[in-house]
Amino acid sequence: MAQILDGKSLKEKILKELKQKVDCFEVKPTLVVILVGDNPASKIYVNNKKKTAEQLGINSQVINYPSEITEAELLTKINELNNDPSVTAILVQLPLPEHISKENVMNAIAPQKDVDGFTPYNFGKLFSGEEPTVYPCTPKGILLLLDEYNIELKGKHVVIVGRSNIVGRPLSQMMLNKNATVTVCHSYTENLEQITKTADILVSAVGKNIIEGKMLKTGCVVVDVGIFKDENGKTRGDVDFESAFQIASYISPVPGGVGPMTITSLMLNTVELFEHQV
Ligand code: GUN
Got the DSSP string for 74-122?
HHHHHHHHHH-TT--EEEE-SPPPTTS-HHHHHHHS-GGGBTTS-SHHH
Q: Whose CA is nearest to atom 8 of ligand 1?
A: 93
Average pLDDT over residues 183-206: 98
Average pLDDT of 259-272? 98
Mean pLDDT of 216-228: 98
Q: Please, which pLDDT band fits residue 64 given cuts at 50, 70 and 90? A: very high
User: Active site includes 208?
Assistant: no
* Residue 229 burial class via C-beta count within 10 angstroms: exposed 0-12, middle 13-18, buried 19 and up: exposed
Q: What is the mean pLDDT of the chain?
A: 98
Marked catalytic residue, from 11, 28, 49, 125: 49
Q: Is 227 in the pocket of ligand 1 (CB under 6 A)?
A: no
Please list, in sequence order, all residues whose beta carbon lies within 8 angstroms of the beta carbon of residue 190, skipping any fewer than 6 positions away. Answer: none
Q: Model's pTM, two decimal places?
A: 0.98
Distance CA 1, CA 218 (A): 10
Query: Is the CB of 119 within 6 Å of ligand 1?
Result: no
Selecting among 28, 93, 156, 224, the annotated active-site residue is: 93
First vs last C-alpha separation in the chain: 48
The amino acid occupying position 151 is I
Q: Is 138 in the pocket of ligand 1 (CB under 6 A)?
A: yes
Give me the percent of the chain exceeding a pLDDT of 70. Answer: 100
What pLDDT score does 103 carry? Answer: 98
Return the number of other C-beta atoms located less than 10 Å from residue 42's C-beta: 18
Q: Is 167 in the pocket of ligand 1 (CB under 6 A)?
A: no
Average pLDDT over residues 26-42: 97
pLDDT for the residue numbered 54? 97
- Compute how many other C-beta atoms are within 10 angstroms of the C-beta atom of residue 173: 20
Q: Are 105 and 77 in contact (CB under 8 A)?
A: no
Find the radius of gyration of the CA atoms of the chain: 19
- Ligand 1 centroid, distance to 143 Cα (angstroms): 17
Please name the residue whose Cα sits nearest to atom 11 of ligand 1: 94
* Distance of CA 86 from the midpoint of ligand 1 (Å): 23
Q: What distance in angstroms lies between residue 46's CA and the mean position of ligand 1's atoms?
A: 9
Q: pLDDT tier at 270 (50, 70, 90 boundaries)? A: very high
116 labelled catalytic: yes
> Measured between alpha carbons, how far is 205 from 144 in angstroms, rounded to an integer?
17
Burial 89-118 (b: 16+ CB within 10 A, else e): bbbbbbebeeebeeeebbebbbbbbbbbbb
Please tell me if the CB atom of residue 93 comes closer than 6 angstroms to any atom of ligand 1. yes
Instruction: State residue 246's pLDDT score.
Output: 98
Q: What was the pLDDT predicted at 82? A: 98
CB within 8 Å of 139: residues ≥ 6 apart = 167, 170, 171, 174
Evaluate: CB of 87 within 6 angstroms of ligand 1: no
- 79 residue type, one letter: N
Least confident of 23-27, 65-69, 211-215, 231-235: 231-235
